[in-house]
Amino acid sequence: MSLVLIGVLVTVMLILAWAISLYNALVRLKHGVRKAWSNIDVLLKQRHDELPKLVEICKQYMQHERVTLEAIINARNAVSNAREQHDIHALGSAETGLRAGLGKLFALAENYPELKANESFQFLQQRVTGLENAIADRRELYNEAVNLNNVRIEQFPDVIVARFFNFIPAELLRFSNSEVTDVDIKNLFG
């Protein structure tokens, strides 16, 4: 074998090893996004299962707050539908509605001392609040995984392998403007 042929073979082997390494890194990122989404999905399902219990307890005490309770159930269903369809955009919007409804429910509960004192209500309120916090944390991790994936598949030379193997960008979990804007405290007390 000539030195030129050996040089070409070594170069081809190095390029092939580099392409395989790059491909594997992109696969890890893609699965990181899926794993991050699965973590959110588990928490959304847990919260989905707890909300009817919370609403049922509240119904016993809050007969005059039917609109709030129905809004929570409707928002819960919207979140569930978006989750099942893996529609990240619709999920962000539905989550905003659900969080607003839960905030209103917990604020209204202050007007019902018997409800506030109910052990089941206290447990479910803490459970749902804990799940809300965990979902917020997982959203951050999901968006970070999406960002890493999307940046990597657009960087040169990764973009060459990404396009060849049809790696596509993932969608960030975005929130409505009402969820990210500052709260007007004056209007809340006015």
Q: Is the pLDDT of residue 107 over 80?
A: yes
Question: 41-132+172-189 sits in which CATH class?
Answer: mainly alpha
pTM: 0.70
- Location of structure tokens 């405290």: 185
Among residues 187, 138, 110, 162, the alpha carbon closest in space to that of 33 is found at: 138
Q: How far apart are the C-alpha atoms of 177 and 92, rounded to whole Å?
A: 11
Tell me the per-residue pLDDT of 3-61, one tens digit each, with 9 for 90 and over.
888 889 999 999 999 989 999 999 999 999 999 989 888 888 888 888 888 888 887 77
Domain ranges of the chain: 41-132+172-189
Among residues 95, 6, 90, 88, the alpha carbon closest in space to that of 44 is found at: 95
Tell me the per-residue pLDDT of 139-162, one tens digit each, with 9 for 90 and over.
889 999 999 999 999 999 899 989
Phi/psi of residue 176, each to 5°?
-70, 160
Residue type at position 52: P
